[in-house]
Structure 1
Amino acid sequence: MIEKIETGIAPSSAPISDAVRSGKHVWLVAIAEDPTTGEIVDGGIQAQARRCIQNLEIAVRAAGGTLANLVMVQIFLVDSADAAGMNAVYREFFTVQPYPVRATVVVKELLAKGLLIEMTGTAVID
């Protein structure tokens, strides 16, 4: 059985969930969208990476966990030159081992105009 987790982040008009649970497993997705305004944040890759991780955190907390419950993070970047800036922000949030397994992929573009990064995560929460 799959349960949608209400986080208040995903736009209600889109046919998506930003977090779902099946048993102890929770799948999350986050873009660099301000949850109060619905706008993509300005300020380049570091601002967008920070907002993505903050949105992952909002979603995982809505599921009853913390960032420490993440076992896998997937990162999609539009420009490989942004990897260093993204990594600097990532290190601010993930400071304790074991770190989540991570895959970073460079893509041609992301759906929302101005979006430089998107993240998905998998968490295990008792």
Structure 2
Amino acid sequence: MIERIETGSAPSSAPINDAVRAGKHLWLVAIAEDPVTGEIVGGGIEAQARRCIGNLDIALKAAGGSLRNLVMVQIFLVDGADAAGMNAVYREFFTEQPYPVRATVVVKELLAKGLKIEITATAVLD
């Protein structure tokens, strides 16, 4: 059975959930959308990466987990030159081994105007 995890931070412009759970597994998606205003955050890749990871954290907490439960992270960047800034922010949140397995992909564009990053992730909850 699939359960929607309600966090209030799913992008309002699309028919999607930001997290669903099936048993102990949780699938998540996060963009750099402010969960209060619904606006894409400005300030460059660092601010957007922090907001994305912050939105993942909100969803994980709503499901009873934390960032430590992540097993796989996929990061989509519009500009490969943003990888260094994104990695610096990533290191702020993921400081202990084992790190989640990670793939980073550069894409031509993301659907929301001004969006520099999108993250999908998989977690296993206790």
> Which TM-score bucket, shorter chain as reference?
over 0.9
Q: Which residue of 1 aligns with 2:85?
A: 85
Deviations 1:6-58 (A, max 9, x none): 01101455310100000100000000000000000010000000000000000
Q: Which residue of 2 aligns with 1:74?
A: 74
- Where in structure 1 are there 5+ consecutive unaligned residues? none
Instruction: Find runs of 4+ consecutive structure 1 residues off by over 4 angstroms.
Output: none
Give the alignment's TM-score, normalised by structure 1.
Answer: 0.98
Map 1:40-119 onto structure 2 (within 5 A). Answer: 40-119=40-119
Deviations 1:69-119 (A, max 9, x none): 000110000000000000000000000100000000000000000000000
Identity between Structure 1 and Structure 2 (%): 84
2-structure distance, mates of 1:41, 1:13: 15
1-structure distance, mates of 2:24, 2:6: 16
Q: Which residue of 2 aligns with 1:20?
A: 20
Give the alignment's TM-score, normalised by structure 2.
Answer: 0.98
- Where in structure 2 are there 5+ consecutive unaligned residues? none
